[in-house]
Amino acid sequence: MAELIVVGLIVGSIIALGAIGLTLVYGILKFANFAHGDLMTLGAYIAFLAFRTGGHLGPLSFGPGMIAAILAAMAFVAVLCVVIDRLVYRPLRRRNANLVILAMASLGMAIILRSVVYLRWGPDTHFYVTGIQQAHNFPLGTKLKPDQMFIGVVAVLSVVLVYLLLYRTKLGRAMRATADNMDLARVSGIDTEHVVVWTWLIGGSLAALAGVLLGIQSHLMPEMGFDFLLPLFSAAILGGVGSPHGALVGAFTVGVSQELSTEWISPAYKPVIAFVLLFAILLVRPQGIFGAKKQ
């Protein structure tokens, strides 16, 4: 049981990175980005492309090459998000398109990104490093591999950084103001297009990071991000759309519930657990745990 909770927290921290980006985009640009999962996939594969084996960072299965690969993937996906925004979402914003149309366009982008991954890397699974890693024993009978600890540490550090950015910088304040009311933010002198660019840079790099960590945790495959879409949306909606700390709480809830469910039902139903949580929260509290009730 303790073991499942620990694994759930690790998976939850990966979900958190994706869900925070998703909720930021949702909060500021107001549309559900169906391509977010596939941004994770692309990030994981870009890191796979950039990764050079050799050396070991302490007990980890990979060397310093992984750090470089992670940074490359984050930079690539972040810039790609801005490019996509310029080509697709901004023209639609300018046209005052219905937000649902933007969501549909993001679904088209999701299919495009995934097809590119399929075309470049094929349908087979890939690993950053092959081989089995020795797990360490911890109290309460839990076992943890060094790589999993790495995932947890990196995720926690990133979340702290995002928190500082949102709540301790001028940019963060501008982002939160834009999320509250874009028109009001604009008349207050905030360059909202600038805020949009930063939203994509942060959301995109977090998605890429989440994708790489997911790849380290298990393996790479073209559907990995799309399969993660339900947990991401569950976490974001559970916490209240637009609320980063809500997404964090939602992510751990989803991660732990998914793992704990394997105690009683088949692990094949993990994605269904995320969906059941989503359906339940929409039934009883659609604004999410931390969301303010709006009409």
Partner 1 sequence: MITSFFHDMINPAYMAGFLTLVVIYGVFAVGLNVHWGYTGIFNFGVAAFFAVGAYTTAVLTKQSASGAYQTYIGGYHLPFVVGLLGAGFVCAILAFIIGIPTLRLREDYLAIVTIGVAESLRHVFVNEGWLVNGTRGMIGIPQPLHNLVDTADYRYVYLAIAAFVLLIVYVAVERGIRSPWGRVLRAIREDEMTAEASGKNIFAFKMQAFMLGAFIMGVGGALYAHYVRAITPDTFVPMFATFLIWVMLIVGGSGNNKGAILGALVVWLIWDRTGALVSNSQDPRIFYVRNLLIGVLIVGVILLRPKGILGEEKRVSVYAGKEKERPRPVEEAPDIASAAATEDAVDGG
- Can you give the binding site for partner 1, defined by CB under 8 A? 31-32, 34, 88, 91-92, 95-101, 103-105, 107-116, 118-119, 122, 229-230, 233, 237, 266, 268-269, 271-272, 274-276, 278-279, 282-283, 286
CB of 101 to partner 1, least distance (A): 6
Contact yes or no for 202/24 (Cβ under 8 A) = yes
CB of 20 to partner 1, least distance (A): 17
What's the per-residue H, E or C state across the chain?
CHHHHHHHHHHHHHHHHHHHHHHHHHHHHCCCCCCHHHHHHHHHHHHHHHCCCCCCCCCCCCCCHHHHHHHHHHHHHHHHHHHHHHHHHHHHHHCCCCHHHHHHHHHHHHHHHHHHHHHHHCCCCECCCCCCCCCEEEHHHEEECHHHHHHHHHHHHHHHHHHHHHHHCHHHHHHHHHHHCHHHHHHCCCCHHHHHHHHHHHHHHHHHHHHHHHHHHCCECCCHHHHCHHHHHHHHHHHCCCCHHHHHHHHHHHHHHHHHHCCCCCHHHHHHHHHHHHHHHHHHCCCCCCCCCCC
CB of 263 to partner 1, least distance (A): 17
Name the nearest CA neighbour of 154 among 88, 264, 60: 60
Comparing CB distances to partner 1, the nearer of 103 and 201 is 103
CB of 115 to partner 1, least distance (A): 4
Comparing CB distances to partner 1, the nearer of 67 and 100 is 100
Quote the tokens at residue 106: 């993001």
Comparing CB distances to partner 1, the nearer of 120 and 143 is 120
CB of 108 to partner 1, least distance (A): 3
CB of 28 to partner 1, least distance (A): 15
Distances (CA, A) of 88 to 71, 94, 276: 25, 11, 32
CB of 122 to partner 1, least distance (A): 7
Comparing CB distances to partner 1, the nearer of 170 and 294 is 294
Comparing CB distances to partner 1, the nearer of 149 and 282 is 282
Comparing CB distances to partner 1, the nearer of 94 and 170 is 94
CB of 82 to partner 1, least distance (A): 17
Comparing CB distances to partner 1, the nearer of 197 and 282 is 282
Comparing CB distances to partner 1, the nearer of 88 and 165 is 88
Radius of gyration of the chain (CA): 19
